Amino acid sequence: QVQLVQSGAEVKKPGASVKVSCRASGYMFATNYIQWVRQAPGQGLEWMGIINPSGGRTNYAQKFQGRITVTSDTSRRTLYMELSSLTSEDTAVYYCARDREVRKVSGLDPWGQGTLVTVSS
Amino acid sequence: DIQLTQSPSFLSASVGDRVTITCRASQAIASYLAWYQQKPGKAPNLLIYAASTLQTGVPSRFSGSGSGTEFTLTISSLQPEDFAAYYCQQLYTYPYTFGQGTKLDIK
């Protein structure tokens, strides 16, 4: 079945960077866009960015411009989201999620299990 | 950015009730709207896409409607497993924003 498996929880100090991975299986890797979404403790969902794994084209939310890099490694069937200059406001669960349609956007299914990133001195 | 405003933010209801959640967009988004359900400690789960199409495997008591700027998610007869948070997301233009969420709990 289609599955996204993310890397494990991370604890980082303020100012550091974090790189979260998302390994895809069960479908043709390059055909579906992947979005990254985060959720701070007790808060709602926040859209961060999107990548087309075929070619690596990205679009990021303005809020994260300059701090976020999303990449794709087709040989490993893995996506990566790196966020730099971390502050306590970046403490959140980070999700990758695949769009349900090939080469279009219509809705995210499935989602990865989430990666908790804690930023603390 | 397109703002999505969900109402209500909190909703108490009983098993068997019919409930409706509204999502209003700050500008027209055609039918580029999805609805998700999220249970505590879990990733969101897609319920509806293209405003009104039921995702495979989702019970038929869930339905979506609307286009342009106003959308609704309806649960026709609440079941115990439906008590959760619900989010809308617009996929019309970047950034693909989410509503602030609606928490549905048991009365």
Q: Spell out the SS3 assignment of chain A.
A: CCEEEECCCEEECCCCCEEEEEEEECCCHHHCCEEEEEECCCCCEEEEEEEECCCCEEEECHHHCCCEEEEEECCCCEEEEEECCCCHHHCEEEEEEEECCCCCCCCEEEECCCEEEEECC
For residue A114, which residues of chain B lie inside 8 Å, CB to CB?
43
| Average predicted confidence (pLDDT) for chain A | 96
Check CB contact under 8 Å for A107 and B100: no
Specify the pLDDT at position A105: 87
Quick one: DSSP state of residue B32?
-
- Position A8 scores a pLDDT of 98
> Which pLDDT score is estimated for A55?
87
Using CA of residue A21, residue A23, residue A28, residue A34, what is the dihedral sign?
negative
Instruction: Residue A35: list chain B partners with CB under 8 A.
Output: 96
- By C-alpha distance, the chain B residue nearest A115 is B43
Amino acid at A35: Q
CB-nearest to B49 from A50, A107, A110 is A107
| Interchain pair A47, B89: CB under 8 A | yes
Supply A41's token pair: 């403790």
Q: Using an 8 Å Cβ cutoff, are A92 and A107 in contact? A: no
Residue A97 has pLDDT above 90, yes or no: yes
Q: In this predicted model, what pLDDT tens digit does every residue of B77-97 receive, in sequence order?
A: 999 999 999 999 999 999 999
Q: For the residues A72-80, what does the mean pLDDT come to?
A: 95
Contact A111 B43 (CB under 8 A): yes
Instruction: Name residues whose C-beta falls within 8 Å of residue B42's C-beta, 6 or more positions apart in sequence.
Output: none
**What token pair was written down for B60?**
């038929």
Of B43, B49, B87, the CB nearest to A95: B43
Q: Do B34 and A47 touch (CB under 8 A)?
A: no
pLDDT surpasses 90 at A74: yes
Name the residue among A61, A62, A108 with its Cβ closest to that of B46: A108
Flag if B94 and A59 touch (Cβ within 8 Å).
yes
Torsion angle of C-alpha atoms A7, A11, A116, A34, degrees rounded to 10:
-50
Residue B48's closest chain A neighbor by CA?
Answer: A107
Q: How confident is the model at residue A104 (pLDDT cuts 50, 70, 90)?
A: confident
Q: Which residues of A touch B50 (CB under 8 A)?
A: 106-107
CB–CB of A108 and B34 under 8 A? Answer: yes
Q: How far is B8 from chain A (nearest CA, A)?
A: 14
Confidence of residue A103 (pLDDT cuts 50, 70, 90): confident
DSSP state of B8: -
In chain A, pLDDT over 70 holds for what percent of residues?
100
Chain A residue with the nearest C-alpha to that of B88: A45
pLDDT tens digits, one per residue of B8-67: 999 999 999 999 999 999 999 999 999 999 999 999 999 999 999 999 999 999 999 999
